[in-house]
Amino acid sequence: MATTSATIPSAGPAAGSRSFLSRLRDGDEIARLITLIFAASVVLITVALVYQLWKDSALPRHAFGWRFFVTDVWDPVFDKFGALPFIYGTVVTSAVGLLIAVPLGLGAAIFLAELAPQKISDTLTFLIDLLAAVPSVIYGLLGIFILVPLLREYVQPALGKTLGFLPLFSGPPFGVGFLAAGIVLAIMVIPFIISVSREVLLSVPREQREAALSLGATRWESTWKVVVPFARTGIFGSIFLALARALGETMAVTMVIGNAPKISPSLFSPGYSIAAVIANEFTEATGDLYLQALIELGLVLFLLTFILNGLARLLILVTQRRGAGVHA
Amino acid sequence: MSRRTMNLRLRWRKAVSAVMLTLTGVCALVAVSVLFFILGYLVYHGGRSVNWNFFTKLPTPVGEAGGGMANAIVGSAKLLLLASLIGVPIGFLGGVYLAEFGGRGAGFVVRYCADLLNGAPSIVIGIFVYALLVLPFKHFSTVAGSFALGIMMIPITLRSTEEFLRGVPMSLREGAMALGASKWRAIATIIVPAAYRGILTAVLLALARVAGETAPLLFTAFNNRFWSSGWNQPTASLPVMIFTYAVAPYEDWHRQAWAAGLVLLALVLVVNVAARSILARGISVPRS
């Protein structure tokens, strides 16, 4: 790594034109080396993280192989570990979360980017940024004491009465469960969808809107049929970003999902998620296989978010490049 | 098509436009109002319990009313201090390397790793630090918790430092060079000072973010009902206390959890607002 960077001229002006010795005398080589060490430590930490997760999940990987992901028995007493209930819970809660968050977030982003006067848009964006800074344990706190009772007393009985024939909304109203976790996740990822989508929408060239309007489109038609499709890839990027957040979210979900390793089609049913089971059982895990099964779950989570984040960044980049390209 | 149906159709389209645009406004309003709901509920439920005792007393045993979270507040402060000592130098100097010295290949690798760390779920960071610093020493510690939080601060600090340093105008660098300054001198005395507001903002935002992190502390710093007796001992922290108290079945603990939630949120929001106001208007804060 050091060798490649030494041969490529650095960002500053004319750095490469002086001799190595004079740069050494001026302290430039020393400064480069020191900062390089710190930069390299970032790489080191990342490599160590992946290595540790891989190494410390060897037992269950050898013992269960791919069966780990498709069996649904989680019984530490008999050393049986199947991750399916947790994977199911993570997928279902994230899906519910996105189903609520995407329309709301996209709507708000359209308002902020296309409609609101600059001043109002800036103020609201500032508040949304603050919302993104609220710690997840606080969402969990409000989830337990405000949302869960609300769901148990009012929302779930009402849904059960009207839509109870669907397996989705059947069963007794516990309050805690997939639905509660999904709603909390939705609230938590909305700020991310809004701020990324807004930026992507703002990068759509003005001419696109003007052309649509001059052809007689209404304001909504120009937004929905021209601007949004133009920004589509970037908006998908923001959704992937939100999904990655939702999958890895731990505290808020742990506090409202009910912590029961069950696979149930009903959203009212208590469940469990990958992150939640790690948070709850990690310090109590007795035996290497148990602990390593939890670490393997962590590895799965890491890989999933890694893939989603990568895809998201790619999509957002593509859209912004395209916007800039048309503009030029 | 007759003129009449044309008119009808136009009116319909205009109506749809008005309705949909109003709906987007409603979406924005709903999203923003969540912030005020959160603040309102925390003040309502936690406001009464934030008193002198909360900041000065230790937690009481179960069943005994009163007590406070002094140990958690001090614990959080210690965790954040040490986390900054780990995360800020690595992030800042790494950022300097990327902006001023980094070649294309090395820069790409460092940036890629930073993004990977930034996107990693915080609980995974917790597992990593557990394997690295807790398991070998056989006990939870403040140091391990700080290391986990420090790791989380690195990517935010690193990428923003790089971004703000790159934003410093070329003419400033050329001026320094023309006066005969060596590169590191130009960086230390001209370029970094020119970008320090942005970097400071980023550091504060990173601090505010990890201040509320709970998941990476669960199995690194763990928790403690008493004062932590040293850096190598488990310690209480505000976020972990909120979690522990909120999921426990005791009424009095719930009251304390609300109070701790209010204090934590106030802290995070104040630091956020302060950090953003440090930046002069017109310069955008890079997103972490």
**Cβ contacts of residue A321 below 8 Å, gap of 6+?**
none
How close A214 comes to chain B (CA, Å)?
15
Q: CA dist B18 to A113, A121, A211, B150, Å?
A: 16, 19, 20, 49
Which of the four pLDDT bands, split at 50, 70 and 90, describes residue A273? very high
State both tokens at B57.
């007393």
pLDDT of residue B5: 76
- Report the alpha-carbon distance of residue B9 to residue B194 in Å, rounded: 58
- Report the alpha-carbon distance of residue A254 to residue A249 in Å, rounded: 9
Of the candidates B14, B28, B106, the beta carbon closest to that of A218 is on B14
Cβ-based neighbour number of residue A285 at 10 Å: 17
- Asked if A11 has any chain B CB less than 8 Å from its own CB, the reply is yes
Q: Which run of H or E residues covers position A75?
A: strand A74-75
Contact at CB, B120 and A130, closer than 8 angstroms: no
How close B90 comes to chain A (CA, Å)?
5
The closest of B78, B80, B117 to B203, measured between CA atoms, is B80
Q: How many CB pairs under 8 A join A and B?
A: 310
Q: CA dist A21 to A13, A16, A28, A250, B37, Å?
A: 18, 12, 10, 53, 63
What three-state secondary structure class fits B67? strand
Contact, A181 vs A136, CB < 8 A?
no
The closest of A142, A247, A115, A264 to A192, measured between CA atoms, is A247
Give A49-81 pLDDT, tens digit per residue. Answer: 999 999 999 999 999 999 999 998 898 888 889
pLDDT of residue B1: 54
Q: What is the DSSP string of A198-227?
A: HHHHHTS-HHHHHHHHHTT--HHHHIIIII
Contact at CB, A43 and B272, closer than 8 angstroms: no
**What are the chain A neighbours of B23 within 8 Å (beta carbons)?**
107
**Cβ contacts of residue B85 below 8 Å, gap of 6+?**
B146, B150
pLDDT of residue A17: 56
Contact at CB, B34 and A187, closer than 8 angstroms: yes
What three-state secondary structure class fits B225? coil
- The predicted model gives A241-248 an average pLDDT of 93
State both tokens at B281.
């208007």
- Asked if B25 has any chain A CB less than 8 Å from its own CB, the reply is yes
How close B130 comes to chain A (CA, Å)?
10
The closest of A10, A107, A45, A105 to B98, measured between CA atoms, is A10
Q: How far is CA B7 from the centre of its chain?
A: 54
- Report the alpha-carbon distance of residue B229 to residue B232 in Å, rounded: 8
| Residue type for position B152 | M
Contact, B222 vs B142, CB < 8 A?
no
What three-state secondary structure class fits A80? strand
pLDDT of residue A318: 85
Q: How far is CA A23 from the centre of its chain?
A: 44
**B103 vs A215, residue with greater confidence:** A215
Instruction: Name A233's bridge partners.
Output: none
What three-state secondary structure class fits A158? helix
Q: What radius of gyration, in Å, describes the C-alpha atoms of chain B? A: 25
Contact at CB, A43 and B110, closer than 8 angstroms: yes
- Asked if B147 has any chain A CB less than 8 Å from its own CB, the reply is no
- Asked if A24 has any chain B CB less than 8 Å from its own CB, the reply is no
Contact at CB, B213 and A283, closer than 8 angstroms: no
- Report the alpha-carbon distance of residue A151 to residue A57 in Å, rounded: 38
* Disruptive mutation site among B123, B161, B177 for chain A (greatest number of A CBs within 10 Å): B123
pLDDT of residue A79: 87
Cβ-based neighbour number of residue A25 at 10 Å: 13
Q: What is the ipTM of this complex?
A: 0.90
**What are the chain B neighbours of A298 within 8 Å (beta carbons)?**
123-124, 127
How close B6 comes to chain A (CA, Å)?
13
Give B249-266 pLDDT, tens digit per residue. Answer: 988 899 999 999 999 999
Stretch 194-213 of chain B: residues touching chain A, C-beta under 8 Å: 205, 208-209, 211-213
Contact, B189 vs B172, CB < 8 A?
no
How close A62 comes to chain B (CA, Å)?
19
| Nearest-by-CA chain A residue for B220 | A283
How close A270 comes to chain B (CA, Å)?
15
Stretch 274-303 of chain A: residues touching chain B, C-beta under 8 Å: 275, 278-279, 282-283, 294-295, 298, 301-302
- Report the alpha-carbon distance of residue B109 to residue A283 in Å, rounded: 34
pLDDT beyond 80 at A311: yes
pLDDT of residue A179: 95
DSSP tag of A8: S
For the CA atoms of B253, B257, B259, B264, the dihedral, rounded to the nearest 10 degrees, stands at: 150
- Report the alpha-carbon distance of residue A107 to residue A100 in Å, rounded: 11
Stretch 92-111 of chain A: residues touching chain B, C-beta under 8 Å: 103-108, 110-111
SS3 labels along A256-324: HCCCCCCCCCCCCCCCCCHHHHHHHHHHHCCCHHHHHHHHHHHHHHHHHHHHHHHHHHHHHHHHHHHHH
**What are the chain A neighbours of B273 within 8 Å (beta carbons)?**
130
**What are the chain A neighbours of B154 within 8 Å (beta carbons)?**
42, 45
Number of residues written out for chain B: 288
Ordered alpha helix ranges (H), B167-221: 170-178, 183-186, 192-211, 215-218
- Report the alpha-carbon distance of residue A132 to residue A142 in Å, rounded: 15
pLDDT of residue B277: 87
- Determine the Cα angle at A120 with ends A116 and A126, to 5°: 115
pLDDT beyond 80 at A1: no
Question: pLDDT tens digits, chain B, 288 residues: what are they?
Answer: 567 777 888 999 999 999 999 999 999 999 999 999 999 999 999 998 888 988 998 888 877 777 889 999 999 999 999 999 999 999 999 999 999 887 788 889 999 999 999 999 999 999 999 999 998 988 899 999 999 999 999 999 999 999 999 999 888 888 888 998 888 888 988 899 989 889 999 999 999 999 999 999 999 998 988 888 888 899 999 999 999 999 999 888 999 999 999 999 999 999 999 998 887 544 444 433
Q: CA dist A25 to A29, A194, B183, Å?
A: 8, 51, 11
Contact at CB, A43 and B28, closer than 8 angstroms: no
- Report the alpha-carbon distance of residue A82 to residue A67 in Å, rounded: 7
Q: CA dist A22 to A322, B146, B182, Å?
A: 44, 41, 10
- Report the alpha-carbon distance of residue A181 to residue A188 in Å, rounded: 11
- Asked if B274 has any chain A CB less than 8 Å from its own CB, the reply is no
- Asked if B86 has any chain A CB less than 8 Å from its own CB, the reply is no
- The predicted model gives A278-286 an average pLDDT of 90
How close A22 comes to chain B (CA, Å)?
10
N-to-C CA span, chain A? 36
Of the candidates A49, A137, A142, the beta carbon closest to that of B38 is on A142
The model carries a pTM of 0.90
Contact at CB, B31 and A108, closer than 8 angstroms: yes
How close B76 comes to chain A (CA, Å)?
14
Of the candidates A42, A128, A218, the beta carbon closest to that of B154 is on A42
- Report the alpha-carbon distance of residue A312 to residue B115 in Å, rounded: 12
